[in-house]
Amino acid sequence: MKIRVLGSAAGGGFPQWNCNCNNCDGVRRGTIRARARTQSSIAASDEGVDWILINASPDILTQIKDNPVLQPARQARDSGIAAVVLMDAQVDHVTGLLMLRERNAPLPIYATEQVFADLTSGLPLINTLAHYCKVERHLITPDNQAFSVPKVQTLALIPISLSSKAPPYSPHRNDPHPGDNIGLSITDKKSGKSVFYAPGLGEIEPQVERAMQHADVLLIDGTFWTDDEMIRLGMSAKRAADMGHLAQSGPGGMIEVLQRYPDKRRILIHINNTNPILREDSEQALELARHGIEVAFDGMDIEI
């Protein structure tokens, strides 16, 4: 199984267009050791020919250009994207769908009932695409209901319910439902090896714990270093937990959680522009390295 990290940053990317925090200003000026990142998305494949796009970032066109495996050029109009799997209906995970509208066949989209509902009501992307390439809907149901995508059938995908809120535009923003946000267990049927992908993870619930125990690679939420990161920087009045993210540091944080899995490859993704781990020589990045925890970057290859 091949996993390609297309984008490793949280919503807004890095640097964020309107942000002048030390990280964003430093990477623009080249005064810190850090690399720019697009908004989070990955692609999964068995043979490296046809790929499952997992979340459609607003940066999808840049990501396709930077990853030629997604454009095999077998005919006049072509794409290596066999299907799209949506893990939630957040703007930074779905608006890239509009950039795929020139497809000459219906676009296969796999999502939960809640995500499809949000994308036909509060943010009607599905209705919009129907006027262009049309959409082939595939309903997925958490938990433990495995599914496969044609052309990539040797990969089994299992959606895992995560506690989270629906997007701010959702009609049930303050009335959470299972399926608003999922993690994804991706297993290679031939080797039995698996990856657990969860870019938004605010709580380690029993079903999440089981998925993490089973996986060989953990590719999970690295949004914030501290729970009050945005508050201290004057960027927001919300804590990480309020936004559905488990901070890395502190008691019960992601570092402490990941220490329970020293035999697995552990990688943080969906990194907010304010997070000090983006600076490769920061004290926080060095602490992750001491724990054997990696920080995802655009173009990172994971093969198991």
Burial class (CB in 10 A: 0-12, 13-18, 19+), 151: middle
- Strand partners for 302: 3
**How many Å apart are CA 94 and CA 125, to the nearest integer?**
8
Number of folded domains that form the chain: 1
What are the pLDDT tens digits along the chain (304 aa)? Answer: 999 999 999 999 999 999 999 999 999 999 999 999 999 999 999 999 999 999 999 999 999 999 999 998 888 889 999 999 999 999 999 999 999 999 988 999 999 999 999 999 999 999 999 899 989 999 999 877 899 999 999 999 999 999 877 888 888 777 788 889 999 999 999 999 999 999 999 899 999 999 999 999 999 999 999 999 999 989 898 888 888 899 999 999 999 999 999 999 999 999 999 999 999 999 999 999 999 999 999 999 999 9
In one-letter notation, the amino acid at residue 149 is V
- Check: CB of residue 45 under 8 Å from CB of residue 27: no
Burial class (CB in 10 A: 0-12, 13-18, 19+), 244: buried
- Strand partners for 220: 198, 268
Identify which of 95, 97, 122 has the alpha carbon closest to the alpha carbon of residue 109: 97
**How many Å apart are CA 196 and CA 220, to the nearest integer?**
7
The number of angstroms, rounded, from the C-alpha of 207 to the middle of its chain's C-alpha atoms is 19
- Strand partners for 138: 110
Length of the chain: 304
Residue 198 sits at φ, ψ, to 5 deg, of: -150, 85
Structure tokens at 106: 């219906």
**What pLDDT is recorded for position 172?**
77
**How many Å apart are CA 16 and CA 176, to the nearest integer?**
29
**What pLDDT is recorded for position 196?**
98
Which CATH number does the domain housing residue 224 bear? 3.60.15.10
**What pLDDT is recorded for position 91?**
95
**What pLDDT is recorded for position 241?**
86
**What pLDDT is recorded for position 270?**
97
Q: What is the pTM of this model?
A: 0.96
**What pLDDT is recorded for position 242?**
86
Look up the domain containing 102 and give its range. 2-303
